[in-house]
């Protein structure tokens, strides 16, 4: 059956199947019980996958349309299943073929999860324990890997595509998928129970500020203010805890940057999805097998200053590169942006201060704070709420220095009103009634801002 199919298609399509045939695997004499049905399915898929790898011409796969590849694989799987003596319904057969295509061309069991738009995070604790996050809440998935080797193979496929490695000498790695999704993997000996994998999915359709308004992350007035701040080229620091949506907001806010501006982005793993055309993306490099060749974010920030950028966007500041970022904001690269991990706007400034001291230079504390106060204009604080939703908690303005203290004032804040019967957090994003010091700067930049935007509302 398979030979006839291959000969009919040989002239029309590139042949991805080798001519040689191996002896078919012997039939399993023992029929699997109901309790072992899943294990039997995984074992069958493993055997078929091995046969496919032996018979597929992997160098030709990329040249064949997916539909044609699926037909060729389906034909081969049919003959192999007949040799196994296994009888399957058409639905189960189609599902098996799809799983095998995922194994050959994609990331195996992860593919259905990556294609599911309702899933935000994929968390693999071990080969047989996979969790996903939907709408901010975790749930256990039925997806599982065959064993640790299977999971390790998928991890290696991910990291090798971006030129990184993971082994006993370097047992953890940050990487990304082709769509920009963030990946972290860690293996033995650091991961006691075997390989663990975390994937933070990014929407294939970039979230705009308007969509964030519709989702309740902020209101229309605050969105208008953020747009005005970007148009006027004020420097913005986005702060929040893990999973609070910092990168998502950075992507959304950056969409308002003038398309005529030259933008340089700097990240550990490239995941920003800027909509402008004039963008140069820079990415750090980990050490090689000899422990050499590291390229840090600080190296890239310094290099970016020589690339004639209008704006510099650092995906997240974590160390000494923070000092160079502040210097760039103070030396003509207005409208730059970055993110930082912190639980409040005030804590964010404290973290920035600590990172500058990591540089090693013994600068007076007042000098560091003065640099921060003059470089950063706006701090946007985000948080993930108890119901899993992500919201902006405040938009704050840095107004200067008073003695040795950086002074700030809130322009918009989120006020909680309690919880609904469904468990959803209830609240309103409202102006504080304070007109920001930067209002005159917005007007001078030609940005149309209505002063009524800042009037306090009674909630």
List phi, psi (to 5°) of 118.
-85, -10
The three state secondary structure string of 14-38 is CCCECCCCCCCCCCCCCCCCHHHHH
Q: Domains of the chain (ranges plus CATH)? A: 2-105 (no CATH), 111-200 (3.30.450.370), 209-454 (3.40.50.300)
Using CB atoms within 10 A of its CB, is residue 132 exposed (0-12), middle (13-18) or buried (19+)? buried
What does the pLDDT read at residue 14? 46
Rounded-to-integer distance, Cα 296 and Cα 181, Å: 21
Closest among 361, 441, 424, 431 to 396, alpha carbons compared: 431
What's the token pair of residue 371?
């640099």
- What CA–CA distance (Å, rounded) separates 323 from 268? 17
Q: What is the spatial distance between Cα 409 and Cα 432, in angstroms, rounded to a whole number?
A: 9
| 418, β-bridge pairs | 426
Contacts of 271-278 spanning 24+ positions with Cβ under 8 A: 271/176, 271/180, 271/181, 271/182, 271/202, 271/247, 271/315, 272/180, 272/247, 272/313, 272/315, 273/180, 273/202, 273/206, 274/313, 275/206
Please work out, in degrees rounded to the nearest 5, the angle formed at the alpha carbon of residue 250 by the alpha carbons of 324 and 209: 155
Q: What is the pLDDT of residues 376-386, one digit of tens each?
A: 999 999 999 88
Place of tokens 């539909």: 67
Instruction: Give the helix ranges, DSSP H, for 31-89.
Output: 37-55, 66-84
Asked if 264 and 282 count as a contact pair (C-beta separation under 8 A), the reply is: yes
For residue 372, say if its preceding peptide bond is cis, omega within 30 degrees of 0. Answer: no
Structure token pair of residue 206 = 């970039």
CA distances from 391 to 56, 88, 133, 141 (A): 49, 48, 17, 27
pLDDT of residue 6: 39
Q: Which stretches of the chain drop beneath a pLDDT of 50?
A: 1-35, 459
Q: Is 352 helix (H, G, I), strand (E, B) or coil?
A: helix
- Torsion, CA 82, CA 88, CA 38, CA 21, rounded to 10: 20
pLDDT digits (tens, 9 = 90+) for 112-169: 899 898 898 999 999 999 999 988 789 999 888 888 998 998 999 899 888 888 988 8
Using DSSP, state whether 379 is helix, strand or coil. Answer: strand
249 contact partners, CB below 8 Å, separation of at least 6: 212, 217, 238, 380, 382, 392
Distance, in Å, from the CA atom of 121 to the CA atom of 113, rounded to the nearest integer, reads: 9
Cα–Cα dist 90/97, whole Å: 10
Whether pTM exceeds 0.85? no
Tokens of 131: 């969790």
The Cα 57–Cα 226 span in angstroms is: 53
Which run of H or of E encompasses 264?
strand 263-267
State how far the Cα of 413 lies from the Cα of 394, in Å rounded to an integer: 4
pLDDT at 399: 94
What single-letter DSSP state applies at residue 415? E
Q: What does the block give as tokens for 445?
A: 């930049």
Handedness of CA 248, 249, 250, 251 (dihedral sign): positive
* pLDDT on residue 140: 93
Q: Answer positive or negative: Cα dihedral of 69, 75, 77, 80.
A: negative
Rounded to whole angstroms, what are the CA distances from 210 to 31, 207, 232?
56, 8, 19
């Amino acid at each position: 059956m398979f030979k006839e199919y291959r000969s009919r298609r040989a002239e029309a399509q590139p042949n991805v199947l080798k001519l040689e045939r191996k002896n078919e695997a012997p039939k399993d004499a023992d029929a699997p019980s109901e309790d072992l049905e899943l294990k039997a399915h995984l074992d069958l898929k493993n055997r078929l996958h091995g046969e496919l790898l032996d018979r597929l011409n992997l160098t030709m796969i990329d040249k064949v349309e997916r539909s044609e590849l699926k037909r060729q694989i389906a034909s081969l799987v049919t003959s192999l299943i007949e040799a196994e003596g296994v009888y399957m319904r058409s639905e189960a057969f189609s599902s098996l073929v799809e799983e095998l295509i995922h194994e050959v061309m994609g990331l195996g069991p992860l593919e259905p999860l990556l294609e599911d738009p309702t899933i935000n995070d994929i968390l693999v604790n071990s080969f047989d324990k996979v969790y996903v996050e939907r709408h901010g809440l975790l749930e256990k998935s039925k997806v599982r890997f065959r064993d640790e080797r299977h999971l390790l193979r998928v991890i290696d496929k991910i990291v090798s595509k971006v030129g990184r490695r993971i082994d006993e000498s370097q047992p953890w790695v940050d990487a990304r998928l082709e769509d920009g999704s963030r990946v972290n993997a860690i293996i033995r000996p650091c991961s006691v129970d075997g390989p663990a994998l975390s994937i933070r999915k990014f929407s294939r359709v970039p979230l705009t500020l308007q969509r964030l308004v519709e989702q309740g992350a902020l209101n229309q007035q605050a969105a208008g203010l953020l747009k005005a701040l970007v148009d006027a080229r004020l420097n913005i620091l986005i702060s929040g805890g893990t999973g609070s949506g910092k990168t998502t907001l950075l992507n959304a806010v950056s969409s308002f940057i003038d398309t005529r501006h030259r933008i340089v982005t700097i990240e550990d793993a490239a995941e920003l999805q800027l909509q402008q055309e004039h963008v140069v993306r820079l990415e750090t490099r980990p050490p090689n097998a000899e422990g050499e060749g590291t390229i840090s974010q600080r190296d890239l920030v310094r290099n970016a200053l020589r690339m004639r950028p209008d704006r510099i966007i650092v995906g997240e500041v974590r160390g000494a590169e923070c000092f160079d970022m502040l210097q760039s904001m103070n030396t003509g690269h207005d409208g730059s942006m970055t993110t930082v991990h912190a639980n409040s706007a005030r804590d964010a400034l404290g973290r920035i201060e600590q990172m500058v001291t990591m540089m090693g230079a013994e600068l007076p504390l007042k000098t560091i704070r003065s640099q921060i106060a003059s470089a950063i204009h706006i701090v946007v604080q985000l948080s993930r709420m108890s119901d899993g939703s992500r919201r902006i908690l405040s938009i704050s303005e840095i107004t200067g220095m008073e003695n040795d203290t950086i002074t700030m004032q809130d322009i918009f804040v989120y006020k909680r009103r309690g919880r609904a019967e469904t468990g959803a957090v209830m609240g309103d994003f409202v102006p504080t009634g304070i007109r920001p010091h930067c209002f005159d700067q917005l007007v001078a930049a030609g940005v149309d801002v209505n002063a009524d935007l800042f009037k306090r509302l009674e909630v």
